[in-house]
Amino acid sequence: MSAHASDTHLEDHAHDHGHHHKETFITKYIFSQDHKMISKQYLITGLIMGVIGIAMSLLFRMQIAWPGESFKTFEVLLGKWAPDGVMDPNIYLALVTIHGTIMVFFVLTQGLSGTFSNLLIPLQIGARDMASGFMNMVSYWLFFVSSIIMVISLFVEAGPAAAGWTIYPPLSALPQAQGGSGLGMTLWLVSMAIFIASSLLGSLNYVVTVINLRTKGMSMTRLPLTIWAFFVTAIIGIVSFPVLLSAALLLIMDRSFGTSFFLSDIFIQGEVLHYQGGSPVLFEHLFWFLGHPEVYIVLLPALGITSEIIATNSRKPIFGYRAMVASILAIAFLSTIVWGHHMFVSGMNPFLGSVFTFTTLLIAIPSAVKAFNYITTLWKGNLQLNPAMLFSIGLVSTFITGGLTGIILGDSALDINVHDTYFVVAHFHLVMGISALYGMFAGIYHWYPKMFGTMMNKNLGYIHFWITAICAYGVFFPMHFVGMAGVPRRYYTNTNFPMFDDLTNVQVVMTVFALIAGAAQLIFAWNFVHSIFYGKKAPQNPWNSNTIEWTTPVEHIHGNWPGAIPEVHRWAYDYSKTNEDGEYVIPGQDFVPQTVPLQENEEELNH
Amino acid sequence: MTALLTIIVLLLVAIAIWQMTKIFELSQSGSDDSQIANDKDNKINGYLMFGFLIFIYLLTIYSFYAWGDVILGTPASEHGPQYDNLMGISMALIFFVQIVTQALLYFFAYKYRGQVGKKALFYADNDKLEFIWTIIPVVVLAGLILYGLFTWTTLMDIDEEEGDPIIIELYAQQFNWKARYAGDDNVLGQANVRLIDINKNNVIGIDEADSYGEDDIVSQTELHLPVGRKVIFKMRSQDVLHSAYMPHFRAQMNCVPGMITQFSFTPTITTEEMRLDPDISEKVQKINKIRAERRANGDDNADAWEFDYVLLCNKICGSSHYNMQMKIVVESQEEFDAWLDGQQTFKETIASAE
């Protein structure tokens, strides 16, 4: 009821728009409460963090391929951590750690989810803005502060956090164990605590908005799959992020106040520490209780985005809408009960390992359904191969390749020998890293006209995609072999083991591909920035899409629609729908926007 | 330096590509600058999609051809062949699915590339199809789960009573391994890091008051194992998490400060026998060729290599994580006994320290 009331209020608002809404530079561009501006802020912050994260990966890839070699680049970028241009082992671990943290949380969680949930939830459900614009603004600024703290932590005297992105204690708890576990780790924890607050505020807002502010006719079963994905992602975030906060708080206690939640019986640097009775395995449980759902927090929005893009560009309805929704829900539910598969050899009871193997392999079922449904959507389509569509197809491809090796890692018995090797690195980079990045790129190419009112250059987009696609496989496919050879991850160099000498050339191949891929992102960066200012002005509905964000004017206005919010009469996927006589429902047009009422002698599907 | 050159070359290539597109765009200015895919784009990218499918297949084939021999060879433990068998079945399955699904995905992307005036098929649902591709993974996965769980439970069922196992403690610290043998009584003495006494050379904190510990033997350099006898490893760590990883035996378990973890296997092939294994000797030859080249280039780390089993640390543990290793020697019971006789017992160690 209250939702309805505020709706009317907002409508009034929109009518006398311009009379008393004098916005200053600060309220419009900095402390904006408008979801469209906030989404751009998320995107740009996320992309800048992405540049840092990817640059780090190139640095440590160079070290792995040419161990101990001197590089001018290292000397310039790493300063005292690369005396004479040779990378220090401590900074290697720090780079690996911060690369993981930044990519998983800052780019693929808030950069991806924050951007597109903010942009699309109000626009696609037909709302004037988020349920709470203020909370939304606070959420972004907390994210910004946490990003700044994370970046500041890179410049700490004793080095940034270097215990791996999973920050397992005792390594992360004891400055005696590692320089990075001093101030660097403190800043890491503070940054993440603020990040979690940001993520929670955002997620609560998304959930409330989707439940309450849908326009007339927009039933849950008419929601585009993007919204389903964002909605469920937000719920998983609300369920699991607080657990990471508790883990971080307990770790802060152990580090600074002498408690023993995670520490026991430690003898380090010639002395016995007082800690008694804690267990690092407890931390692993708490961490992965978030950490595993986090994988799906990263991936589901990307899958939602591709569902929408594949349907639009195939000019076909997404195949099996209800199965797609059901599989999102199934994946979300299962994702919270599989965390133990990261811990098969952690020393936990082997019986637990059996249970987690069972639940983990179950996830393969909804994932397989999704992959098959995507492929069937392409079948007999009229594929418009825009850059966004290419990235979406790329996502399905890497999702399958990376997902399949999950069958091996999720099996407790098989995990024994590939656990923590490069096999794992290859697996999760393909299935969540590259896939989610592809989803993010697809989303950017597709909704760029909505965000900035201009079109990105398609030819640069094509080049960006093809180089990236080839290089992604070039980096991560051979990596499986390195893992099967038994090479542990997070090794500064493999030269201390002659048995790994025959892998040097594989490492060089992977690094060269990685460097080319990194360079290809410059094409994207240039295209992104250049198109904001000099891109061709976008038409209102460039991709002939059904969803209602394309009924808003190209120029952003407060409240999204100049007049009343449109009413929705059908689901989002009436592409190429024909009447019995074989003619399109709207003659001469292969799509029927959601706002078009049911036509005469049109058959409505059960949605 | 070569690396730097490579990077520069790559950057130049990237710039060249970018410039080429600019030219490409300029040459067709005025025709269609909507930035939305037209028939020509669909055609080019459709063909590229098909090309990409071929690229994936070629990459797979090339990887096997060039690097197929780097993967771990003959397993050296009793459960190893079972592990490799399960791995083989799973791999065969995922390769089959991979080849088929990628083919469908990219072939459809090529075949159904858009054309003006073409009509897509409105095809929203098919319960039967969806049921089929839900139930097939269910059945296949059920089989895999059962086989996997069977392997896992047999592996993790560690029974100290059965089959006269030898008990060995693996002790991890930044950044080395130690092994403690239980001695004649085959019972490890009590131990705790609080009892470490460097002056007495009690480096892993064995309880002096516990008589079971007197005949314990601590090896700081090599881990010797008798062939054909079940080993039960009891693992401890004194500082941070480590992971005892013995890839040739398909064995791994974390070492956790504050608790004792365990893993068990039976070595089946001695180090000497393994060196004669065709896969291993081929690998050794290949690597020694690489090392000889390095030697010719004046590299220090290039002595000829002889195969040895090795214990690695596989859980990030600090700056020298990458070099935390211990040589494993698998030998006959007699050789093992002789080696063990040559070692100092704990009682002798602390006596000599005093």
Tens of pLDDT, residue by residue over A545-604, are 999 999 999 999 989 999 899 999 999 999 999 888 888 888 888 999 999 998 877 777
Distance CA B156, CA A580 (A): 63
Give the 3-state secondary structure of residue A88.
Answer: coil
Instruction: Report which of A404, A411, A441, A394 is spatially closest to residue A426, judged by C-alpha positions.
Output: A404
Three-state DSSP state, B217:
strand
Mutate to test the interface with B, among A96, A358, A416 (most CBs of B within 10 A): A416
Q: Do B145 and A358 touch (CB under 8 A)?
A: yes
Residue A230 CA to residue A213 CA, distance in Å, equals 15
CB contact under 8 A, A414 and B90: yes
Rounded to the nearest angstrom, the minimum Cα separation between B236 and chain A is 10
Rounded Cα–Cα distance for residues B274 and B277 (Å)? 5
Instruction: Compare all CA atoms of chain A with the CA of B80 and give the residue at the minimum distance.
Output: A417
3-state secondary structure of B211: helix
Under the banding of pLDDT at 50, 70 and 90, the label for residue A121 is very high
| Cβ neighbours for B299, distance < 8 A, ≥ 6 positions apart | none
Any chain B CB within 8 A of the CB of A161? no
Contact list in A for residue B134 (CB cut-off 8 A) is 365, 368-369
Contact B10 A512 (CB under 8 A): yes
Q: Are B244 and B235 in contact (CB under 8 A)?
A: yes
Q: Which amino acid is present at A137?
A: M
The alpha-helical segments, DSSP class H, found in A66-172 are 72-78, 89-101, 115-125, 133-152
- Written as six digits, the tokens of A425 are 């690195």
Within 10 angstroms of residue B293's Cβ, the number of other Cβ atoms is: 11
Residues 6+ apart with CB under 8 A from B218: B171, B178, B179, B180, B181, B203, B204, B206, B346, B349
User: From the CA of A290, how many Å to the nearest CA of chain B?
Assistant: 20
Please identify, in words, the CATH class of the domain defined by A2-263+279-551. Answer: mainly alpha
SS3 A484: helix
Q: Which residues pair with residue A144 across a beta bridge?
A: none
Indicate which of B32, B70, B178, B236 best probes the interface with A, i.e. most A CBs within 10 Å of its own CB. Answer: B70
Checking if the pLDDT of B2 tops 70, the result is no
Cβ-based contacts of B322 with chain A (< 8 Å): 89, 490-494, 496
Amino acid A8: pLDDT: 43
Percent of chain A residues topping a pLDDT of 70: 96
Interval B135-159 mean pLDDT: 90
* Per-residue pLDDT, B7: 73
Q: What is the mean pLDDT of residues B238-253?
A: 96
- Cβ separation B37–A386 shorter than 8 A: yes
What whole-number distance in Å separates Cα of residue A547 and Cα of residue A541?
Answer: 10
Q: Is the pLDDT of residue B236 over 90?
A: yes
Q: Please tell me the predicted confidence (pLDDT) of residue A7.
A: 44
In chain A, positions 212-271, which contact chain B (CB-CB < 8 Å)? 263-268, 270
**Number of neighbouring beta carbons within 10 Å of residue B310:** 18
Q: From CA A483, how far away is CA B72, in angstroms rounded?
A: 10
* The pLDDT of residue B254 is above 80: yes
Residue by residue, DSSP assigns A325-363 as HHHHHHHHHHHTT-GGGG-TTTTS-HHHHHHHHHHHHHH
| Percent of all residues in chain A with a pLDDT value above 90, rounded to a whole number | 88
What would the pLDDT profile of A83-120 be if each residue is shown by its tens digit? Answer: 999 999 999 999 999 999 999 999 999 999 999 999 99
Residues 6 or more apart whose CB falls under 8 angstroms from that of B177 comprise: B170, B171, B223, B244, B311, B313, B324, B325, B326
- How far, in Å, CA of A429 to CA of A482, rounded? 14
Indicate the burial class of A533 (C-beta count within 10 angstroms; 0-12, 13-18, 19 or more).
Answer: exposed
Both tokens assigned to B16: 């060249």
Half-sphere exposure of B302 (CA within 13 A, CB side): 12
Q: CB neighbours of A463 closer than 8 A, spacing ≥ 6? A: A520, A523, B17, B18, B21
Predicted ipTM of the assembly:
0.92
Q: Which residue of B has its CA nearest to A590?
A: B119
* DSSP states of B250-308: TEEEEE-TTS-EEEEE-B-S-HHHHHHSHHHHHHHHHHHHHHHHHHHTT-SS-------
Contacts of A183 (CB under 8 A, 6+ apart): A153, A156, A157, A158
Q: What angle do CA A160, A162, A165 make, to 5 degrees?
A: 110
How far apart (Å, rounded) are the C-alpha atoms in residues B331 and B343? 16
Q: Which of A401-410, A574-583, B295-304 has the highest mean pLDDT?
A: A401-410
B3 CB neighbours in chain A (<8 A) are: 62, 65-66, 69, 71
Phi, psi for A421 (deg, rounded to 5)? -100, 180
Does A557 contact B at CB distance below 8 Å?
A: no
* Residue A231, token pair as written in the block: 């909605």
Burial, A84: exposed, middle or buried (Cβ in 10 Å; 0-12, 13-18, 19+)? exposed
| A496 chain-B contacts, CB cut-off 8 A | 322-323, 325
Dihedral sign for Cα atoms in the order A428, A104, A338, B129: negative
Of B87, B252, B257, the CB nearest to A345: B252
Type of residue at A533? F
Residue from A433, A383, A523, A40 nearest B49 by CA: A383
Instruction: Give the Cα separation of A63 and A511 in Å (integer).
Output: 9
Give the Cα separation of A285 and A340 in Å (integer): 7
Query: In A16-103, where does DSSP find H-type helix?
Result: 25, 35-65, 72-78, 89-101
Whether residue A356 has a cis bond before it, omega within 30° of 0: no
The residue ranges of DSSP E strands in chain B, in sequence order, are 166-173, 176-181, 217-219, 222-226, 231-237, 242-246, 251-255, 261-265, 309-313, 325-331
Note whether A417 contacts B250, CB cutoff 8 Å: yes
The mean per-residue pLDDT over the stretch B144-148 comes to 89
pLDDT for B305 equals 92
Q: Could you tell me if A241 and A293 are in contact, meaning their C-beta atoms sit under 8 angstroms apart? A: no
Q: Cα dist. A191→A161, A202, A262 in Å? A: 12, 16, 21
pLDDT at position A513, please? 95
Instruction: Calculate the average pLDDT of chain A.
Output: 92
Which token pair is B7?
A: 């990077």
Cα gap B54→B103, rounded to integer Å? 9
Q: Strand B231-237 relative to strand B166-173: parallel, antiparallel, unpaired?
A: parallel
Is the pLDDT score of B24 beyond 70? Answer: no
Q: Cβ–Cβ of A279/B259 closer than 8 Å?
A: yes
The CA-based angle A249-A250-A253, given to 5 degrees, is 90
B81: nearest CA partner in chain A: A414
Please give the Cα distance from A97 to A116 (Å, whole number).
26
> pLDDT confidence of A10, banded at 50, 70, 90?
very low
Across the interface, do A364 and B141 touch by the CB < 8 Å criterion? yes
Q: Which residue of A has its CA nearest to B116?
A: A382
Sign of the CA dihedral with A490 first, then A493, A496, and A501 last: positive
Residue B137: closest C-alpha in chain A: A365
| Rounded (5°) CA angle A520-A523-A524 | 100
- Whether the pLDDT of residue A3 is over 60: the answer is no
- CA B263, distance to chain mean position in Å, is 17
d(Cα A390, Cα A393) in Å, to the nearest integer?
5
Cβ–Cβ gap B174/A280 under 8 Å: no
Q: What are the structural domains, with CATH classification, of chain B? A: 166-353 (2.60.40.420)
pLDDT of residue B20: 67
Is residue A584 within 8 A of residue A576, CB to CB? The reply is: yes
Q: Please calculate the CA angle A84-A88-A94 and round it to the nearest 5 degrees.
A: 135
